Structure 1
Amino acid sequence: MKQNKDLNKLLEQIAKEHLFIETLETQHRDRLDFHDVAVWSIKGALEAAYAAGIEAAKNTSTTSKGKQ
Structure 2
Amino acid sequence: MTRRKTDPAAARDALILEIAQRRFFLETLETRNSDRLDFYDVAVRAIRDALAEAYEAGRRAAAQS
CA RMSD of aligned residues (A): 1.3
- Matched residue of 2:31: which SS? coil
- Matched residue of 2:41: which SS? coil
Number of residue pairs matched by the alignment = 60
Identity across aligned pairs (percent)?
Answer: 45
Q: TM-score, normalised by structure 1?
A: 0.81
1:55 aligns with 2:60: yes
Q: Spell out structure 1 runs of 4+ moving beyond 4 A.
A: none
Q: TM-score, normalised by structure 2?
A: 0.84
Corresponding residue for 1:34?
39
Gaps (5+ residues) in structure 1?
A: 61-68
Corresponding residue for 2:14?
9
Gaps (5+ residues) in structure 2?
A: 1-5
CA distance in 2, matches of 1:40, 1:21: 17
